[in-house]
Amino acid sequence: MNRRMLDVALGLLTALVIGCGGGTDGEPGKEETPGGEQPNNQTLTWAGTWDASIEYSVRCDHGFGNMQSASYTTSFTVALTGQNSALEAQIDVNYFMTGTGSASKLDLNGTFPLKGADNQKASTRERETDLTLRLDKVMSKDSATGTLSGSFKSGFGNPCDVQSGTVSFTRN
């Protein structure tokens, strides 16, 4: 009778260990999440061609206290090249950004063809433009949203600040 109890106890203990993830039925090193889905261990590769939709408001100093504001909705094609640790983006002729990306975000800094309140494109000179594009809501490997912020000089040299900017990227 004692041998039978020992076998039952050993069987229950084995079932308990296997039921807690200690078994060998699945692949080693992978834990299952609720619903049977595997966790996402892949890194998003940002390199490629993206369609960018942008909504932003600017406030520009036209001199002598003459502050003017404007709002724009526009779209661009953004060509990203390189590895996530050293990305380069070309947005339009002579407009370039550099930055880094990961599975959860993309940060780019540089020049971008925004328009000031005078309806003129931002300067292409890096010393006159300090813009940041941050995509921090990644919906999939082909879609992300975020913000656009910073300052620039418009085509006529007026200093402008981005008051609010939202960006949506969709892989082309």
- Residues 66, 10, single domain; the answer is no
- Residues 149, 69, single domain; the answer is yes
Total of domains in the chain = 2
**Per the domain annotation, does 114 fall within a domain?**
yes
**Per the domain annotation, does 43 fall within a domain?**
no
Bridge pairing between strands 159-171 and 143-153 = antiparallel
Instruction: Print the domain residue range for 101.
Output: 49-171
Q: From CA 120, how far away is CA 172, in angstroms rounded?
A: 27
Q: From CA 159, how far away is CA 86, in angstroms rounded?
A: 29
- What pTM, to 2 d.p., does this model score? 0.73
- Residues 84, 128, single domain; the answer is yes
For 7-17, the pLDDT digits (tens) are 544 444 343 33
Q: Which strand (E) or helix (H) includes residue 52?
A: strand 48-61
**pLDDT value at position 43?**
72
Q: From CA 28, how far away is CA 148, in angstroms rounded?
A: 42
CA–chain centroid gap for 59, Å, is 25
- Residues 20, 55, single domain; the answer is no
**pLDDT value at position 28?**
42
Taking the C-alpha atoms of 9, 14, 19 and 23 in order, what is their torsion angle to the nearest 10 degrees?
A: 180
- Residues 83, 119, single domain; the answer is yes
For 39-80, the pLDDT digits (tens) are 344 578 999 999 999 999 999 999 888 999 999 999 999 999
- Residues 7, 90, single domain; the answer is no
**Per the domain annotation, does 41 fall within a domain?**
no
Over residues 2-24, the mean pLDDT reads 43
Q: Which strand (E) or helix (H) includes residue 7?
A: helix 2-17
- Residues 131, 155, single domain; the answer is yes
